[in-house]
Structures are given as C-alpha cells and as structure tokens.
Amino acid sequence: MSTIRPFTERIKRHYGSNDYIENENQNWVSIIQQLKPAKPLYILFPQLITQNARAFAQAFPGKALYAVKTNPDPNAIKAIMAGGIKNFDVASLEEIRLVHSMCPQAEMHFMHPIKTPEDIRSAYFDYGIRHFVLDHEDELYKIMRETDLAQDLHLTVRIACPKNDSALIDFSSKFGANREDAIMLLQHCRSVSKTLGISFHVGTQTEQSARYAMAIHYSAAIIRESGINVDSINIGGGYPVAYQGDKNIPTHKDCIDSALQALKEEQLEDLNLLAEPGRALVANGAKLVTRVELRKDDMLYINDGVYGGLFDAAKWVDTLFPTTAISCDRPFDGDTTPYRLSGPTCDSLDMMNGPFTLPSDIDMGDWIVFDNVGAYSQAIRGNFNGFGHADVICI
C-alpha cells in the first residue's frame, strides 16, 4: 500500500491511527477538509469491497477467482477475502508473491496466457501453483518443460470469442485461441492434464449480458468438435460497473444468469464453474482526491492525471468518473460548468476531455473527488515526471 507520510501526524491527531480511520460516522468530506491533501489521496472503503465480494459469491454457484491486477492493494485483497472469495487470478510472479505473503494457503490460478519460463518454474516449484492457462501449443510445451513433465497440472485452454462491439475493450483481440487451434489444444492437453478446462473473457465493461451466453454456446461447440471431455469452464471477467452517463448497464448477476442459462441449454451445467471478477468487486471501493492547481477558462489543471490514477479518463478510454467538488475555503455558488481536465505532467497527452460537470466558481486549491476508482487506478499509476506518489487511507 502507498505510504501516507505527509499525513501521518494529522491523521494521528484527528483519528489516532496511521492509515486506518475506524470511525463509521466520520464523513469523508470532512476528512478531506481537515487533512487538506496537497498530493493525490485515495480513500478506500474495505467494507464496500467486502459487501461486493459477498454478493458475487452468493450469485455465482462456482469458484470465484479475484483478478488481482484490478487492485493489488493489500487492504482490497483482505476485504475480498473477508467477503468469502479466497481464490485468485494472478498474472505474474509479483502478484503470486503478494497473495502468498498474505495467504500462503490460497489457491492461485496463473491466468496469463503467455508466461516466462522462469515464472512458470518458480510458480510450480516455489509456490505450489498447479493451475495454468494457455492459448498456444508452444505455451503448452513451455509449461510441460518447466514443470519437469508434471503429472498434477490443471490446464485451461483460453479461447478467443467472436468480436464483442458492446465491450469497452475486446479482450479476445490479444489473447485466446481461434476455433481450430482451441480444438487442437484441448486434444493435446487432455493427456497431460489432471483436469482440463476451457475459458474465455468477453471483454471489459461489456454492455450486453447476452454476450456471456453467446460465449458459452461458442465454447460448447468447440468442446463437441474436439471430442474431448472437459472438466471445467471459466466464464472470465468483464462484469460492468456503471460510471457517469452509463445507462442500462447489466449487473454481475445478469451476466452470471445469462451464462448459467446457456450452460443449461448446452447440458453443461455439471461442469465445474469458475469466474474472474475484478472491477465489479472493487470499483466503488475507493475515491481519488485531487487538487486544482490552476484554472484557464474551462480547463482545470489538477495534481493527478492519465499517467497517474486517471488513465481510464484519457481519450483512449473516456471513462466519465462521477465527481464531487469540495471547496477549500468557501461555499460554491451553485451554478455548474462542463470542464476539461489536465494532469500534472509536461505531456500534452495528459488530458481528460470529459466533460466533467463541476461548480462554475471552482478554482485553485479546491479539490475534485473522483468516485468508482477502486479498479485499476492504483494498479496502473506510474511515476512519469515524478508525479506518481499518492497517499492512501482507509475508512
């Protein structure tokens, strides 16, 4: 977790804790007004994350694997486990080490389709990982070689789904075997895998729950054509979250129900089920507090941006995070204006067009609070131009 050095003494004075404010009645707005953060500040709400994890676990009749990449903050991971999800989708040795340090007995699935030989070997021999995903024949050879022809592997073949125009990002554009290759991989993996699975990812922020059913039907056709008995099916992630301006976004339960109905229609309901929720569990579990450093007409220059915690607000994603303005010294006049935002780096790509509707009289020293930043914001932020630092507190 990021440190909170600039705030340590003030937090001790106000709340008696270095980084965890255990006062349910403490209003987060007053926290900002008292701390007056000069650097970007994340406010985490672990209880919300726990509630989300519990709701997903209750809706999904299989094994849910938390996608660690979404938010690797230890407080988020602890909250996920408190909600009953104690299995993990990991994509790197670093994520494996993190989860192992917090829960040595956790079941981890190495879900990145393309892994380095060194990471495969360490995952298997040093951390006891037996679940590996692949989407290419050479990856199968790599896994077998680096595990010394292990006989206790649980392999999963990831397939590429047909193009999903309703997703913000189509995840089959980078990973996943095409139909012909997937059939071949299932046939080759069966004899060297203790259990064999098939998986897909419909794409992030998919707006149509029916896409899960379509992916199930596509997977079923591949299974039938391969002539291979499959033990499990992983319906992946992509469960959407409503941001500002989003309408008719399906819930994670809508997506799960769509998949379950398709499994029933394909007579595959007896397969072991897995899913990889991420965004849906943590998005609403954090706020990001930024400060206005200068105003030029409808452009507000703030102290965080697309190279920091607001990557998804850039033009290549254009996420409209819900925002709240907090005045540093006065009440706002009530009128609002659409603004563009500029991050702190010297790069002109560090811009967020929005528009973000904020008070007309917002100015230097006021704060803009972005909601629903619990997913990816902390994980993606870098230190370009030296603007990477962010403080973290929990409520």
pLDDT at 316: 86
CA pair distance 324, 131, nearest whole angstrom = 43
- Indicate whether 11 belongs to any domain: yes
Structure tokens at 28: 């987060």
Average pLDDT over residues 43-63: 96
pLDDT for the residue numbered 333:
87
pTM: 0.89
Do 271 and 362 lie in one domain? The reply is no
Residues above pLDDT 70, as percent of the chain: 90
Q: What pLDDT is attached to residue 26?
A: 54
Residue 208 has pLDDT above 90, yes or no: no
Taking the alpha carbons of 145, 149, 152, 155 in that order, is the dihedral positive or negative?
positive
Res 247: pLDDT: 66
Q: Do 124 and 259 fall within a single domain?
A: yes
User: Each residue of 256-281: pLDDT tens digit?
Assistant: 999 999 999 999 989 999 999 999 99
Residue 59 lies in a domain: no
Residue 225 placed within a domain: yes
The CATH number given to whatever domain includes residue 363 is: 2.40.37.10
Peptide bond into 74 cis (omega under 30): no
256 and 143 both lie in a single domain: yes
The verdict on 229 and 349 lying in the same domain is no
Q: For residue 171, what pLDDT is reported?
A: 63
Identify the domain boundary among 241, 257, 276. 276
- Among 246, 276, 306, the domain-final residue is 276
Whole-number Å distance between alpha carbons of 196 and 194: 7
What pLDDT is stored for residue 12 in this prediction?
Answer: 41
Domain tally for the chain? Answer: 2
351: in domain = yes
Beta bridge partners of 65: 87
Residues 213-218: contacts with CB under 8 Å, at least 24 apart: 213/258, 213/259, 213/261, 213/262, 214/161, 214/162, 214/262, 215/161, 215/259, 216/259, 216/262, 216/263, 216/266, 216/268, 217/262, 217/265, 217/266, 218/159, 218/161, 218/162
Domain assignment present for residue 383? The answer is yes
Q: Could you tell me if 98 and 124 lie in one domain? A: yes
- In one-letter notation, the amino acid at residue 38 is A
Does some domain include residue 327? yes
SS3 297: coil
CB contact at 8 A, 384 and 307: yes
pLDDT in tens, 109-167: 999 999 999 999 999 999 999 999 999 999 999 999 999 999 999 999 999 987 756 65
Q: Give 173's DSSP letter.
A: G
Confidence band, pLDDT 50/70/90 cuts, at residue 250: confident
Q: What is the mean pLDDT of residues 193-215?
A: 90
> Are 16 and 101 members of one domain?
no
314 with 378, same domain: the answer is yes
Whichever domain contains 177, its CATH number is 3.20.20.10
Find all residues with CB under 8 Å of 52, minimum gap 6, and list them: 83, 280, 281, 282, 284, 285
Question: What digits encode the pLDDT tens for the residues 348-381?
Answer: 999 999 899 999 999 999 999 999 999 999 999 9
DSSP 67-93: EGGG---HHHHHHHHHTT--EEEE-SH
Render pLDDT for 279-311 as a digit per residue (tens, 0 to 9): 999 999 999 999 999 999 999 999 999 999 999
Residues 116 and 217 in one domain: yes
Give pLDDT tens digits for 79-94.
999 999 999 999 999 9
Q: Span 46-55, mean pLDDT?
A: 96
The helix (run of H) or strand (run of E) holding residue 349 is none
How confident is the model at residue 165, as a pLDDT?
A: 65
Distances (CA, A) of 150 to 113, 131, 146, 155, 160: 18, 12, 9, 11, 27
Is the model more confident about 310 or about 209?
310
pLDDT for residue 10? 45
Q: Which residue, of 233, 248, 276, is where some domain finishes?
A: 276
pLDDT at 318: 86
Judgement on whether residues 300 and 263 belong to the same structural domain of the protein: no
Q: How confident is the model at residue 11 (pLDDT cuts 50, 70, 90)?
A: very low
Range of the domain at 166: 86-276
Is residue 109 included in any domain, yes or no? yes
> Can you read off the two tokens belonging to residue 158?
């990831």
Residues 268 and 207 in one domain: yes
Answer yes or no: do 102 and 184 share one domain. yes
Q: How far apart are the first and last CA of the chain?
A: 14
- Looking at the structure, tell me whether residues 323 and 379 fall in a common domain: yes
Identify any residues that bridge with 108 across adjacent strands, giving them in sequence order: 88
The chain-wide mean pLDDT, for the chain, equals 90
Burial class (CB in 10 A: 0-12, 13-18, 19+), 370: buried
Number of C-alpha atoms within 13 angstroms, CB side, residue 4? Answer: 21
Q: Is residue 56 part of a domain?
A: no
169's tokens: 């990002």
